[in-house]
Amino acid sequence: MSINRRNFLKMMGWSGAGAALAGCDMPTTVTLEEGREEVVSYLAPEEYVIPGVGVWYASTCTQCAAGCGIHGRVREGRVLKLEGNPDSPINKGKLCMMGQAGVQGHYNPDRITQPMLRKGGDLHAVGWDEALTLLNEKLGGVKDDRFAWFTGSLSGHQRVMVDNHLEAMGSRHHFVHEVVNNAVSRRVYAEMFADETPRLRIDKAKMVLSLGADFMGVSESPLLYSGDYTRFRTGETRGLLVQVEPKMSLTGGSADLWLPINPGTEGVLALGIANLLLNKLKMSDAGIPGEVRRLIDSYDVNRVARHTGVAGDRIQRVAALLQERAPSLVLVGPAVEGHVHGHASVAAAMMLNHILGNVGKTVEAGRRLPFAQLQAKSGNTADLLAFADLAARDQLDAVIFYGSNPAFTAPASLGLGEALGHIDFKVAIAQFPDETAMAADLVLPVNSYLEDWGTQVAAYQGDMAALQLQQPLMEQLHPQTRGFGDIVLALLKQRRSDEYGRFEDYYGYLRNAFANMPAAIKGGASDEAFWNAALQVGVVDVPAETASLHSQVVNFADPVTEGSGSQALTLIPSPRMGLWDGRHANLPWLQEAPDQISKVVWDAWAEMHPETAAALGIGQGDLIRISSDQGSIEVRVTLLKGVNRGSIAVPLGQGHSDYGRYAKGLGANPLKILSPLVEAETGEMAMYATRVDAKRVAGPDQFGLVKMGGSDTQAGRRLVVTVPVEQLKRSRGA
Ligand code: SF4
């Protein structure tokens, strides 16, 4: 086998800066025998298997891209319960509801259990041999950039394999799509702090001003931030949380002060606060460019109050608190990024961290693995737009989809359904019959993450850089499913048999990669001991790389967005902890879990402020039609004071036309009616800028929306007497 050292390291994922850690000898390849297992019947169990007593194994959650560590309780060969892995630097023993529901995806009755090939218009079951022969045949005829991978966020050795396969195919096209993403913020962080993923230390702040950041619910790392938040609240000085957003989120529900704001005006609010800090509270502008300073000076508090709908005295109070409670931290969420001037809005908000001197105190350099090949490729929406465009222009002949469902998440305006028809050969590596799999020509059934091998690297690391191991917690439930790594390895063997032919399976590849990990990481342990420790703990602590952080305000545009269109309301397609972007709509536990704010279960609905609804003749439980310039959806209404008066919020996740018995045909998908608006600087989809009308179609029906929260009023019974703070102050003369 003649592979040079450089290529070998690249194949194993250790090339790049990390090789400097190496000092490792030339590779020692794990023998294939080591990867063999002896299957023993439970009638003659291993010594440690005690009937009725569970054994816990470490692995990694892939229910979102945060990369939390898990422990799975396995009894009599079945995984029964998942918990957080205390050794994970991300979730430190905690597990969110989506993580808990992982077992329902694993045991889900709607899993795809064998390969399927489209013949005569319909998908028919075929064997793996036929499927792979056809796949290799089809890919063999595709030229360079006419082939693409389309995935969700991808990291670790799965990313290495996909990258190497793309290289072997001669293609540059890897589209990485996530509806829930922070791509615009990442750009701003890189421009202002020289670090795309700075560590945002909520736990070190005395005050957090969150502009729509649902950091404990839907964010890049909900459990890491939740841990930070606990310390923020329980530290010597109890931290103060001010949340400003157009629709109350899970995090907003915990705030000390919650302020509704007109959608898309968060950047204007940030400029108004900067104006007060510099001009009234006399803070230093710390080298802000003249153009930005003029922009700040043009936003006095009255102008800002008019634009944002936030009262002037509130804005002044927030500015004063930020100055008093140093160090503070200003965060942004998707609603800030997701309008036409999202980049400018995020930049205005991050400028507050600069003025307040937070950079270096609560904005720290993020930790990163020193192996560029393994780092997370985080998803965005610009890739979806680029993919739809290429497909519509007949520029793609074959695409492999994995971990993403663009047929569900793409707005109707993209015409993706038709564009997919231009691609000759569409392959879906899928666990469930989602909309994209059902549109594919070949469907390859993949193991659940509880049955699969892999490594995961979180894009947003905690206080160390961790390579997390994913190991099967039990034997495959269905004999015809395969591991993702095994499927890609089979493709690579076709193209690069000299490099990959030696590996019987992906397990063997991973063993080899671990055996050849730089010696500095293995700390003198033998290959076997190192591998066993990784299996046991689930986490490999890797010496971290950090960027050298700087704090520098760059020029940005005026973030003000003038309303477009004659429609009265702004649509907020709100993702939630639970169904997320719709990927968990097939899990009954998550359908059954009440929405954290509205308490509705098993449905899609619209949230409207009671006064807005009343003005439109709409009441609680009414069926309404929400219409944009791209179409309409029908949902029932729940009235909620936690929504800005000019907005209407519809949760993401429902409205599937496929995706199994629990998801199909339930509710409506607000993504479908988004206007084709794009963020001006980054080309990301402006998802929070669509204007809509709402019209009553029918009154409440016999069933209505099912709410787990009971009544949210006291129906005039004064069970708990409350007095608004303002009234209390007036009555006491304070
Ligand atoms: S936050 Fe994401 S990775 Fe962590 S437990 Fe929840 S779903 Fe899993």
Q: Determine the atom of ligand 1 nearest the C-alpha atom of 97.
A: 6
Residue 81 lies in a domain: no
* Residues 205 and 187 reside in one and the same domain: yes
Please tell me the predicted confidence (pLDDT) of residue 154.
97
Is the pLDDT at 28 greater than 60? The verdict is: no
Are 283 and 346 members of one domain? yes
CATH code, domain carrying 600: 2.40.40.20
pLDDT value at residue 519: 87
Residue 5 CB neighbours (<10 A): 13
Ligand 1 center from residue 489 Cα (angstroms): 27
The pLDDT assigned to 505 comes to 95
Please write the tens of the pLDDT for every residue from 685-722.
999 999 999 999 999 887 778 888 777 677 778 888 88
Mean pLDDT across the stretch 81-91? 96
Does the residue 586 lie in any domain? yes
- pLDDT at 464 exceeding the cut of 70: yes
Residue 733: pLDDT band with limits 50, 70, 90:
low
For the CA of 100, the nearest atom of ligand 1: 5
Give yes or no for a cis peptide into 327 (omega within 30° of 0).
yes
What 8-state DSSP symbol labels residue 160?
H
Q: Residue 484, SS3?
A: helix
Residue 97 lies in a domain: no
216 and 288 both lie in a single domain? yes
Whether pLDDT at 25 is above 50: no
Average of per-residue pLDDT values in the chain: 92
Which pLDDT score is estimated for 34? 54
Alpha-carbon dihedral sign for residues 712, 715, 717, 721: positive
Q: Which structure tokens are listed for 378?
A: 């985080």
Predicted pLDDT at 603: 87
Q: Do 403 and 526 fall into the same domain?
A: yes
54 lies in some domain: no
The atom number, within ligand 1, closest to the CA of 63 reads: 7
213 and 131 within one domain: no
Global pTM? 0.92
* Domain co-membership, 380 together with 417: yes
Q: Which atom of ligand 1 is nearest to the CA of 94?
A: 5
| pLDDT at site 158 | 97
For the segment 721-730, the average pLDDT, to the nearest whole number, is 83
Residues 329 and 392 placed together within one structural domain of the fold? no
**Looking at the structure, do residues 149 and 255 belong to the same domain, yes or no?**
no
Indicate whether 509 and 642 sit together in one domain. Answer: no
Residue 22: the pLDDT is 45
Ligand 1: distance of its center to the CA of 47 in Å? 33
Collapsing DSSP states into helix, strand and coil, what is residue 363? Answer: strand
Q: How confident is the model at residue 4 (pLDDT cuts 50, 70, 90)?
A: confident
pLDDT at 1 > cutoff 50:
no
| Nearest residue by C-alpha to atom 2 in ligand 1 | 64
Ligand 1, CB within 6 Å, residue ranges: 61, 63-64, 66-68, 91, 95-96, 98-99, 222-223
The pLDDT, as a whole number, for residue 35 is 52
Mutate to test the pocket of ligand 1, among 63, 181, 468 (most ligand atoms within 8 A of CB): 63
Q: Is the pLDDT of residue 113 over 80?
A: yes
List of residues 6+ apart from 419 with CB closer than 8 A:
388, 391, 392
Say if residue 487's pLDDT is above 80: yes
| pLDDT higher than threshold 80 for residue 46 | no
Verify that 212 and 355 share a domain, yes or no.
yes
Tokens of 100: 């808990």
Cβ atoms of 177 and 384 within 8 Å: the answer is: yes
| More confident of the two residues 47 and 341 | 341
The CATH code of the domain that includes 189 is 3.40.228.10
The predicted pLDDT at position 16 comes to: 62
Q: Do 383 and 361 share a structural domain?
A: no
Residue whose C-alpha is closest to residue 650's, from 572, 570, 539, 557: 572
pLDDT in tens, 638-687: 999 999 999 999 999 999 999 999 999 999 999 999 999 999 999 999 99
Give the C-alpha separation, 575 to 317, whole Å: 30
Task: Assign 565 a pLDDT band (cuts: 50, 70, 90).
Answer: low
Closest C-alpha to 488, from 189, 157, 197: 157
Which of 96, 218, 576 most suits a substitution to test ligand 1, by most atoms within 8 Å of the C-beta?
96
What's the 463 CA to ligand 1 centre distance in angstroms?
Answer: 17
Determine the distance from the C-alpha atom of residue 612 to the mean position of all C-alpha atoms in its chain, rounded to a whole number.
31
Q: Is there a contact between 527 and 344 (Cβ–Cβ < 8 Å)?
A: no
> For residue 107, what pLDDT band results from cuts at 50, 70 and 90?
very high
Give pLDDT tens digits for 203-247. Answer: 999 999 999 999 999 999 999 999 999 999 998 889 999 999 999
Q: Is residue 259 part of a domain?
A: yes
- Averaged over 110-136, what is the pLDDT? 96
Q: Structurally, how many domains does the chain consist of? A: 4
393 is in which domain, residue-wise? 116-176+371-545
pLDDT digits (tens, 9 = 90+) for 601-610: 998 999 999 9
C-beta separation of 701 from 593 below 8 A: no
Whole-number pLDDT of residue 546? 82
Q: For residue range 575-586, list pLDDT tens digits in order.
A: 999 999 999 999
Task: Let me know if 140 is exposed, middle or buried by CB neighbors in 10 A (0-12, 13-18, 19+).
Answer: exposed
> Helix count (H) and strand count (E) of the chain?
26, 27
For 18, other C-beta atoms within 10 Å of its C-beta total: 23
Q: Are 225 and 215 within 8 A, CB to CB?
A: yes
> Do 378 and 325 share a structural domain?
no
Lookup result for tokens 């302020």? 259
Q: Is 714 among the domain residues?
A: no
Q: Is residue 35 part of a domain?
A: yes
The CA 96 to ligand 1 mean position distance, Å, reads 6
Is 106 a member of any domain? no
Going by alpha carbons, the residue nearest to atom 4 of ligand 1 is: 68
Residue 518 has pLDDT above 70, yes or no: yes
| CATH number for the domain harbouring residue 424 | 3.40.50.740
Residue 19 has pLDDT above 60, yes or no: no
